[in-house]
């Protein structure tokens, strides 16, 4: 149980750090299009960098890019990223 509490605390700290990185762009971010024509802001990129750095610190094999989705029925790092972003968006 302590391992779970520790991991949850780390995930929460990472989500809060990513949220803080995104909030530095509040009111100033404009969207651009990614290759798939979906929007992305500098706030998105900043929070992505924080999350990616945090995940890499725990696991150096973390993919170089995080994007929402699934691969072959397995949850991807992007699915984790999406869950983290939803938490950030919800808790603001």
Give the tens place of pLDDT for each residue, 23-66.
999 888 688 888 888 888 889 889 988 988 888 888 776 665 55
Q: What is the pTM of this model?
A: 0.64
User: Comparing C-alpha atoms, which of 69, 79, 85 is closest to residue 19?
Assistant: 85
Nearest CA to 45 out of 81, 73, 69 is that of 81
Q: How many residues does the chain have?
A: 92
């Amino acid at each position: 149980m302590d391992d779970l509490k520790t991991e949850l605390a780390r995930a929460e700290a990472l989500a809060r750090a990513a949220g803080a990185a995104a909030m530095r762009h509040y009111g100033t971010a404009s969207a651009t299009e990614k290759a798939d024509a979906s929007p992305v802001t500098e706030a998105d990129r900043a929070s992505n960098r924080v999350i990616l750095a945090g995940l890499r610190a725990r696991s150096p094999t973390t993919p170089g890019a995080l994007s929402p989705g699934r691969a072959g029925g397995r949850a991807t790092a992007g699915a984790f990223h999406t869950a983290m972003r939803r938490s950030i968006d919800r808790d603001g």
